[in-house]
Protein backbone atom coordinates (compact mmCIF):
# COMPACT_ATOMS: atom_id res chain seq x y z
CA UNK A 1 0.00 0.00 0.00
CA UNK A 2 1.28 3.44 -0.88
CA UNK A 3 2.42 5.70 1.98
CA UNK A 4 0.71 9.06 1.43
CA UNK A 5 2.40 10.86 4.33
CA UNK A 6 4.99 12.46 2.07
CA UNK A 7 2.18 14.10 0.10
CA UNK A 8 0.78 16.03 3.07
CA UNK A 9 1.27 19.79 3.14
CA UNK A 10 0.01 22.49 5.49
CA UNK A 11 -1.34 25.81 4.28
CA UNK A 12 -0.72 28.63 6.73
CA UNK A 13 -2.86 31.75 6.64
CA UNK A 14 -2.27 35.05 8.45
CA UNK A 15 -3.70 35.05 11.96
CA UNK A 16 -7.19 36.46 12.36
CA UNK A 17 -7.87 39.73 14.12
CA UNK A 18 -8.74 39.96 17.79
CA UNK A 19 -12.42 40.35 17.06
CA UNK A 20 -12.76 37.22 14.91
CA UNK A 21 -13.55 33.70 16.05
CA UNK A 22 -10.50 31.44 16.27
CA UNK A 23 -10.69 27.76 15.47
CA UNK A 24 -10.99 25.41 18.43
CA UNK A 25 -7.99 23.56 16.94
CA UNK A 26 -5.71 26.63 16.94
CA UNK A 27 -3.82 25.48 20.04
CA UNK A 28 -2.80 22.20 18.43
CA UNK A 29 -1.28 23.82 15.34
CA UNK A 30 0.09 27.06 16.70
CA UNK A 31 2.08 29.35 14.43
CA UNK A 32 5.19 31.33 15.30
CA UNK A 33 4.41 35.01 15.96
CA UNK A 34 6.73 35.89 13.07
CA UNK A 35 5.18 33.43 10.60
CA UNK A 36 4.17 36.38 8.41
CA UNK A 37 7.84 36.86 7.55
CA UNK A 38 7.92 33.42 5.94
CA UNK A 39 4.75 33.52 3.86
CA UNK A 40 6.32 35.35 0.92
CA UNK A 41 8.81 32.50 0.43
CA UNK A 42 6.29 29.70 -0.27
CA UNK A 43 6.86 27.77 2.97
CA UNK A 44 5.89 24.16 3.65
CA UNK A 45 5.26 23.22 7.26
CA UNK A 46 5.32 20.22 9.54
CA UNK A 47 4.09 19.74 13.10
CA UNK A 48 6.79 20.01 15.75
CA UNK A 49 5.83 20.26 19.42
CA UNK A 50 2.25 20.82 18.22
CA UNK A 51 3.57 23.93 16.50
CA UNK A 52 4.01 24.53 12.80
CA UNK A 53 7.61 24.90 11.69
CA UNK A 54 8.87 25.42 8.14
CA UNK A 55 10.70 22.48 6.58
CA UNK A 56 11.05 23.99 3.09
CA UNK A 57 10.77 27.29 1.27
CA UNK A 58 9.69 27.03 -2.33
CA UNK A 59 11.34 30.35 -3.12
CA UNK A 60 14.66 29.41 -1.47
CA UNK A 61 15.98 26.01 -2.60
CA UNK A 62 17.80 23.88 0.02
CA UNK A 63 21.21 24.43 -1.62
CA UNK A 64 20.72 28.20 -1.51
CA UNK A 65 19.70 28.10 2.16
CA UNK A 66 22.74 25.93 2.90
CA UNK A 67 25.21 28.36 1.30
CA UNK A 68 23.62 31.39 2.96
CA UNK A 69 24.06 29.64 6.31
CA UNK A 70 27.69 28.71 5.61
CA UNK A 71 28.68 32.04 4.04
CA UNK A 72 26.40 34.80 5.40
CA UNK A 73 23.54 34.58 7.89
CA UNK A 74 20.03 33.18 7.96
CA UNK A 75 16.94 33.71 10.10
CA UNK A 76 14.89 30.71 11.19
CA UNK A 77 11.71 30.68 13.23
CA UNK A 78 11.80 27.38 15.10
CA UNK A 79 9.28 25.03 16.64
CA UNK A 80 11.30 24.40 19.80
CA UNK A 81 9.14 24.49 22.93
CA UNK A 82 10.52 26.24 26.02
CA UNK A 83 9.23 24.83 29.33
CA UNK A 84 9.53 26.98 32.43
CA UNK A 85 10.63 25.34 35.69
CA UNK A 86 10.44 27.74 38.59
CA UNK A 87 10.54 27.65 42.39
CA UNK A 88 12.78 26.79 45.35
CA UNK A 89 13.12 23.16 44.17
CA UNK A 90 13.57 23.88 40.45
CA UNK A 91 17.21 22.80 40.39
CA UNK A 92 16.40 19.69 42.43
CA UNK A 93 13.67 18.62 39.99
CA UNK A 94 15.87 19.11 36.94
CA UNK A 95 18.72 17.18 38.56
CA UNK A 96 16.24 14.38 39.22
CA UNK A 97 15.40 14.14 35.51
CA UNK A 98 18.49 15.17 33.52
CA UNK A 99 21.70 13.18 32.99
CA UNK A 100 24.09 16.10 33.70
CA UNK A 101 24.62 18.10 36.88
CA UNK A 102 22.29 21.10 36.78
CA UNK A 103 23.88 22.65 39.87
CA UNK A 104 26.95 23.41 37.73
CA UNK A 105 24.90 25.62 35.36
CA UNK A 106 25.38 29.21 36.50
CA UNK A 107 22.83 31.98 36.05
CA UNK A 108 23.36 33.39 32.56
CA UNK A 109 24.55 30.09 31.11
CA UNK A 110 23.01 27.31 29.03
CA UNK A 111 23.51 23.57 29.11
CA UNK A 112 22.67 20.74 26.72
CA UNK A 113 20.58 18.25 28.69
CA UNK A 114 19.09 14.80 28.05
CA UNK A 115 16.14 13.18 29.82
CA UNK A 116 15.90 9.39 29.95
CA UNK A 117 13.42 6.73 30.94
CA UNK A 118 14.20 4.41 33.85
CA UNK A 119 15.66 1.85 31.41
CA UNK A 120 18.14 4.42 30.04
CA UNK A 121 16.32 5.07 26.78
CA UNK A 122 16.28 8.70 25.66
CA UNK A 123 13.07 10.70 25.92
CA UNK A 124 14.38 13.86 24.28
CA UNK A 125 17.10 16.48 24.43
CA UNK A 126 17.26 20.26 24.52
CA UNK A 127 18.98 23.38 25.80
CA UNK A 128 18.52 24.46 29.41
CA UNK A 129 18.80 28.19 30.14
CA UNK A 130 19.30 29.32 33.74
CA UNK A 131 17.55 32.67 34.08
CA UNK A 132 17.85 32.90 37.89
CA UNK A 133 18.76 30.67 40.82
CA UNK A 134 15.19 29.38 40.91
CA UNK A 135 14.07 29.83 37.28
CA UNK A 136 14.92 27.89 34.11
CA UNK A 137 13.73 27.55 30.53
CA UNK A 138 14.25 24.23 28.78
CA UNK A 139 13.98 24.51 24.99
CA UNK A 140 12.92 20.96 24.26
CA UNK A 141 13.04 19.09 20.98
CA UNK A 142 9.90 17.51 19.53
CA UNK A 143 8.13 15.50 22.21
CA UNK A 144 6.56 15.95 25.63
CA UNK A 145 8.60 16.56 28.76
CA UNK A 146 6.09 18.74 30.61
CA UNK A 147 4.09 15.83 31.99
CA UNK A 148 7.25 13.89 32.82
CA UNK A 149 8.58 16.81 34.85
CA UNK A 150 5.29 17.30 36.65
CA UNK A 151 5.10 13.59 37.50
CA UNK A 152 8.52 13.73 39.13
CA UNK A 153 7.75 16.96 41.03
CA UNK A 154 5.05 15.62 43.32
CA UNK A 155 7.02 16.21 46.54
CA UNK A 156 8.77 19.42 45.43
CA UNK A 157 8.06 23.13 45.71
CA UNK A 158 8.23 23.89 42.00
CA UNK A 159 6.04 24.97 39.07
CA UNK A 160 6.30 23.51 35.58
CA UNK A 161 4.53 25.69 33.01
CA UNK A 162 4.38 26.65 29.36
CA UNK A 163 5.50 30.31 29.28
CA UNK A 164 4.20 30.70 25.68
CA UNK A 165 7.70 31.54 24.47
CA UNK A 166 8.87 31.12 20.87
CA UNK A 167 12.45 30.88 19.65
CA UNK A 168 13.99 32.39 16.52
CA UNK A 169 17.61 31.97 15.55
CA UNK A 170 20.14 33.92 13.51
CA UNK A 171 22.93 31.64 12.34
CA UNK A 172 25.99 31.94 10.10
CA UNK A 173 29.35 33.74 10.03
CA UNK A 174 27.68 37.19 9.92
CA UNK A 175 25.21 36.39 12.73
CA UNK A 176 26.97 38.34 15.49
CA UNK A 177 27.27 41.35 13.18
CA UNK A 178 23.49 41.19 12.77
CA UNK A 179 23.14 41.10 16.55
CA UNK A 180 25.43 44.11 16.99
CA UNK A 181 23.30 46.08 14.53
CA UNK A 182 20.00 44.91 16.03
CA UNK A 183 20.50 45.65 19.74
CA UNK A 184 19.60 48.98 21.28
CA UNK A 185 22.68 50.29 23.06
CA UNK A 186 25.56 48.13 24.22
CA UNK A 187 26.39 44.74 22.79
CA UNK A 188 26.42 42.06 25.54
CA UNK A 189 29.94 41.43 26.86
CA UNK A 190 30.98 38.75 27.33
CA UNK A 191 28.75 36.71 25.03
CA UNK A 192 30.46 33.35 24.81
CA UNK A 193 29.29 30.03 23.41
CA UNK A 194 26.31 28.84 25.51
CA UNK A 195 26.00 32.19 27.31
CA UNK A 196 22.59 33.76 27.91
CA UNK A 197 21.97 37.51 28.19
CA UNK A 198 19.22 40.08 28.32
CA UNK A 199 19.32 42.77 25.66
CA UNK A 200 16.92 45.31 24.19
CA UNK A 201 15.94 44.98 20.53
CA UNK A 202 13.48 47.48 19.05
CA UNK A 203 12.64 48.64 22.56
CA UNK A 204 11.84 45.11 23.73
CA UNK A 205 13.84 43.39 26.47
CA UNK A 206 14.50 39.83 25.31
CA UNK A 207 16.61 36.85 26.32
CA UNK A 208 19.23 35.79 23.79
CA UNK A 209 21.54 32.76 23.87
CA UNK A 210 24.69 31.80 21.97
CA UNK A 211 23.13 28.56 20.77
CA UNK A 212 21.56 27.10 17.63
CA UNK A 213 20.84 23.93 15.67
CA UNK A 214 23.45 24.38 12.93
CA UNK A 215 26.99 24.15 14.38
CA UNK A 216 27.65 27.52 12.79
CA UNK A 217 28.28 30.77 14.65
CA UNK A 218 24.92 31.97 15.85
CA UNK A 219 22.45 33.04 18.49
CA UNK A 220 18.80 32.64 19.41
CA UNK A 221 16.17 35.04 20.71
CA UNK A 222 13.30 34.05 23.02
CA UNK A 223 10.01 35.82 22.35
CA UNK A 224 7.46 35.77 25.18
CA UNK A 225 3.82 36.91 25.03
CA UNK A 226 4.75 40.27 26.56
CA UNK A 227 7.17 40.99 23.70
CA UNK A 228 6.21 42.94 20.59
CA UNK A 229 7.52 40.15 18.36
CA UNK A 230 6.68 41.99 15.14
CA UNK A 231 8.92 44.90 16.17
CA UNK A 232 11.79 42.54 17.06
CA UNK A 233 11.36 40.62 13.81
CA UNK A 234 11.36 43.80 11.72
CA UNK A 235 14.53 45.01 13.44
CA UNK A 236 16.27 41.69 12.76
CA UNK A 237 15.50 41.87 9.05
CA UNK A 238 16.60 45.50 8.93
CA UNK A 239 19.88 44.74 10.76
CA UNK A 240 20.49 41.70 8.58
CA UNK A 241 19.72 43.29 5.23
CA UNK A 242 23.41 44.05 4.45
CA UNK A 243 24.11 40.33 4.95
CA UNK A 244 21.23 39.01 2.86
CA UNK A 245 19.24 37.89 5.91
CA UNK A 246 15.86 36.32 5.13
CA UNK A 247 13.78 33.60 6.77
CA UNK A 248 14.80 30.13 5.61
CA UNK A 249 14.05 26.51 6.45
CA UNK A 250 17.30 24.92 7.52
CA UNK A 251 18.41 21.63 9.00
CA UNK A 252 19.11 18.84 6.55
CA UNK A 253 22.68 18.65 5.36
CA UNK A 254 24.33 21.09 7.79
CA UNK A 255 22.66 19.54 10.82
CA UNK A 256 23.69 16.07 9.67
CA UNK A 257 27.28 17.14 8.97
CA UNK A 258 27.40 18.61 12.47
CA UNK A 259 26.06 15.45 14.08
CA UNK A 260 23.17 17.31 15.73
CA UNK A 261 20.59 14.63 16.44
CA UNK A 262 16.89 15.08 15.79
CA UNK A 263 14.62 13.57 18.46
CA UNK A 264 12.27 10.96 17.04
CA UNK A 265 14.38 10.48 13.92
CA UNK A 266 17.97 9.94 15.05
CA UNK A 267 17.03 8.48 18.43
CA UNK A 268 13.99 7.28 20.32
CA UNK A 269 13.15 5.62 23.61
CA UNK A 270 14.99 2.44 22.61
CA UNK A 271 18.32 4.28 22.24
CA UNK A 272 20.61 5.13 25.17
CA UNK A 273 22.81 8.24 25.12
CA UNK A 274 25.82 5.94 24.69
CA UNK A 275 24.34 4.28 21.60
CA UNK A 276 23.49 7.75 20.28
CA UNK A 277 27.11 8.89 20.63
CA UNK A 278 26.23 11.20 23.53
CA UNK A 279 27.97 9.34 26.33
CA UNK A 280 29.89 12.48 27.26
CA UNK A 281 26.55 14.00 28.26
CA UNK A 282 25.95 11.35 30.93
CA UNK A 283 27.28 11.90 34.45
CA UNK A 284 27.84 8.83 36.60
CA UNK A 285 29.24 10.88 39.48
CA UNK A 286 26.20 13.08 40.21
CA UNK A 287 23.40 11.97 42.54
CA UNK A 288 20.58 9.71 41.56
CA UNK A 289 18.40 10.56 38.56
CA UNK A 290 15.91 8.74 36.37
CA UNK A 291 17.78 6.16 34.30
CA UNK A 292 21.09 6.38 36.18
CA UNK A 293 21.11 2.77 37.37
CA UNK A 294 20.37 1.47 33.88
CA UNK A 295 23.00 3.72 32.30
CA UNK A 296 25.66 2.59 34.77
CA UNK A 297 25.23 -0.95 33.46
CA UNK A 298 24.61 -0.07 29.81
CA UNK A 299 26.79 -0.92 26.83
CA UNK A 300 28.86 2.21 26.31
CA UNK A 301 29.77 1.59 22.70
CA UNK A 302 28.51 4.08 20.13
CA UNK A 303 26.20 2.85 17.38
CA UNK A 304 25.35 6.24 15.80
CA UNK A 305 27.65 7.56 13.07
CA UNK A 306 27.79 9.62 9.92
CA UNK A 307 27.63 8.18 6.41
CA UNK A 308 28.94 9.52 3.11
CA UNK A 309 27.45 8.30 -0.15
CA UNK A 310 29.07 9.24 -3.46
CA UNK A 311 26.54 10.18 -6.11
CA UNK A 312 23.29 9.73 -4.21
CA UNK A 313 21.19 10.34 -1.11
CA UNK A 314 20.34 7.42 1.14
CA UNK A 315 16.74 6.39 1.72
CA UNK A 316 15.46 6.38 5.30
CA UNK A 317 14.96 3.12 7.14
CA UNK A 318 16.73 -0.25 7.48
CA UNK A 319 18.50 0.07 4.13
CA UNK A 320 22.14 -0.60 5.13
CA UNK A 321 23.91 -3.86 4.33
CA UNK A 322 27.36 -5.34 4.82
CA UNK A 323 28.22 -8.29 2.60
CA UNK A 324 24.51 -8.78 1.94
CA UNK A 325 23.52 -8.90 5.62
CA UNK A 326 21.43 -6.17 7.32
CA UNK A 327 23.76 -3.68 9.02
CA UNK A 328 21.57 -0.85 10.33
CA UNK A 329 19.21 1.96 9.50
CA UNK A 330 19.47 5.42 7.97
CA UNK A 331 17.91 7.92 10.39
CA UNK A 332 18.38 11.22 8.50
CA UNK A 333 19.81 11.97 5.06
CA UNK A 334 20.40 14.86 2.64
CA UNK A 335 22.67 16.07 -0.15
CA UNK A 336 25.68 18.12 1.03
CA UNK A 337 26.49 20.95 -1.41
CA UNK A 338 29.84 21.47 0.36
CA UNK A 339 31.03 17.85 0.41
CA UNK A 340 29.32 17.11 -2.93
CA UNK A 341 27.93 13.79 -1.74
CA UNK A 342 25.03 12.34 0.15
CA UNK A 343 25.33 12.56 3.93
CA UNK A 344 23.39 10.71 6.60
CA UNK A 345 23.13 9.85 10.27
CA UNK A 346 22.92 6.09 10.72
CA UNK A 347 22.49 3.64 13.58
CA UNK A 348 24.37 0.37 13.20
CA UNK A 349 23.35 -3.07 14.42
CA UNK A 350 26.93 -4.01 15.33
CA UNK A 351 28.48 -1.57 17.86
CA UNK A 352 31.96 -2.82 16.94
CA UNK A 353 31.70 -1.18 13.51
CA UNK A 354 32.74 2.43 13.10
CA UNK A 355 34.42 5.02 10.87
CA UNK A 356 36.02 3.57 7.76
CA UNK A 357 33.55 0.69 7.49
CA UNK A 358 32.29 0.17 3.94
CA UNK A 359 28.59 -0.60 3.51
CA UNK A 360 25.96 -0.72 0.81
CA UNK A 361 22.95 1.59 1.04
CA UNK A 362 19.70 1.93 -0.90
CA UNK A 363 19.31 5.45 -2.28
CA UNK A 364 16.29 7.61 -3.07
CA UNK A 365 16.69 7.07 -6.82
CA UNK A 366 16.36 3.29 -6.43
CA UNK A 367 20.10 2.62 -6.86
CA UNK A 368 22.14 0.75 -4.24
CA UNK A 369 25.51 2.43 -3.73
CA UNK A 370 28.70 1.94 -1.78
CA UNK A 371 29.01 4.15 1.30
CA UNK A 372 31.44 4.74 4.14
CA UNK A 373 30.86 5.27 7.84
CA UNK A 374 32.46 8.42 9.24
CA UNK A 375 32.75 10.23 12.57
CA UNK A 376 30.38 12.97 13.69
CA UNK A 377 30.74 15.88 13.30
CA UNK A 378 31.98 15.26 9.76
CA UNK A 379 34.27 18.29 10.10
CA UNK A 380 35.06 20.85 12.79
CA UNK A 381 35.24 18.04 15.32
CA UNK A 382 36.05 20.43 18.19
CA UNK A 383 33.13 22.72 17.28
CA UNK A 384 35.43 25.70 16.92
CA UNK A 385 33.10 27.39 14.39
CA UNK A 386 30.12 27.92 16.75
CA UNK A 387 32.51 28.87 19.55
CA UNK A 388 33.85 31.69 17.36
CA UNK A 389 37.38 30.29 17.42
CA UNK A 390 37.45 29.43 13.72
CA UNK A 391 36.25 31.44 10.73
CA UNK A 392 35.62 28.87 8.02
CA UNK A 393 33.68 30.29 5.08
CA UNK A 394 33.81 27.81 2.20
CA UNK A 395 33.91 28.88 -1.41
CA UNK A 396 30.72 28.21 -3.31
CA UNK A 397 31.25 26.16 -6.49
Binding site feature residues for substrate: 220
* Beta-carbon count within 10 A of 164 CB: 13
* Beta-carbon count within 10 A of 319 CB: 21
Annotated binding site: 220
Q: Running DSSP on this structure, what letter comes out for residue 247? A: B
For residue 314, report the phi and psi dihedrals to the nearest 5 degrees: -65, 145
Which distant-in-sequence residues (6+ apart) come within 8 Å of 123 by Cβ?
Answer: 115, 116, 117, 143, 145, 148, 269
Residue 99 and residue 290: Cα distance in Å, rounded?
8
Q: Running DSSP on this structure, what letter comes out for residue 42? A: -
Where helices occur in the chain by DSSP H, the ranges are 62-71, 90-97, 146-151, 175-182, 229-240, 252-258, 292-296, 384-387
The answer to whether the CB of 68 falls within 8 A of the CB of 172 is yes
Q: Which of 236, 68, 81 is nearest to 147 (CA)?
A: 81
Q: Which of 342, 362, 377 is nearest to 261 (CA)?
A: 377
The answer to whether the CB of 215 falls within 8 A of the CB of 257 is yes
Question: What's the Cα-to-Cα distance from 350 to each of 261, 266, 301, rounded to whole Å?
Answer: 20, 17, 10
* Beta-carbon count within 10 A of 325 CB: 9
The answer to whether the CB of 295 falls within 8 A of the CB of 288 is no
CA angle (292 as vertex; 125, 353 as ends), nearest 5 = 70
Question: What's the Cα-to-Cα distance from 376 to each of 70, 273, 326, 334, 336, rounded to whole Å?
Answer: 18, 15, 22, 15, 14
Adjacent-strand bridge partners of 334: 343
Q: Running DSSP on this structure, what letter comes out for residue 269? A: T
Amino acid sequence: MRDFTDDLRFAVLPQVGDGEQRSEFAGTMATHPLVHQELAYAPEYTLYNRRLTAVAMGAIPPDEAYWRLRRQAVLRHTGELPIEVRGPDAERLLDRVFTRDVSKVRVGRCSYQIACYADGGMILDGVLVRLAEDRFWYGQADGDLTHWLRAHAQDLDVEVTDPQVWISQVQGPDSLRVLAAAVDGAYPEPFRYFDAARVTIAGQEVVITRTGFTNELGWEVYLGPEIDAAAVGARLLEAGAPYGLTPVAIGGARRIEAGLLNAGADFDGSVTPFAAGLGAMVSVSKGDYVGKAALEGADRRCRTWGLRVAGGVARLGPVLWQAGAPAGRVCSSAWSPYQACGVAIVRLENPDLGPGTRLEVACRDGVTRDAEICALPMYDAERRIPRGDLVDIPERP
